Amino acid sequence: MKQVFADTLYWGATLHPFDQYRARAIRALALLGEVRLVTTDEVLAELLDGLAHRGPFLRKAAAMAVHRILSDGRADKGYSLVDCVSMVRMRRLRITAALTNDHHFDQEGSIVLLR
């Protein structure tokens, strides 16, 4: 299944009934067909922060949306931000082994040295 990254603007537009990008966001998703939306914890935090001061309706809608997104059983990786940063650094430096027992490094193809 094709994956598409969903940024804060997309989530906000789909939640806010009067957002200037709402129609475009809904139309773009429909045109993509069946896709798996991918986002980050940071995007979700930015969404919650951005809608927190726009009244109780949007605050509750954002909280419920983030809860649904985080509860989605399709996620295949549960990396922490620290793991993500570490793996990116390893890739950039072409490091293939890690002094860890964290199975997330296995998923990225690294050699886990502390078994």
pLDDT tens, residue by residue, 70-113: 887 655 556 777 788 888 889 888 999 898 888 888 888 999 88
pLDDT digits (tens, 9 = 90+) for 55-72: 999 889 999 998 888 887
Q: pTM to 2 decimals?
A: 0.64
pLDDT for residue 33: 93
pLDDT for residue 19: 93
pLDDT digits (tens, 9 = 90+) for 22-44: 999 999 999 999 998 988 888 89
CA distance 33 to 4: 11
CA distance 70 to 9: 18
- 26 neighbors 12 (Cβ within 8 angstroms): no
pLDDT for residue 43: 87
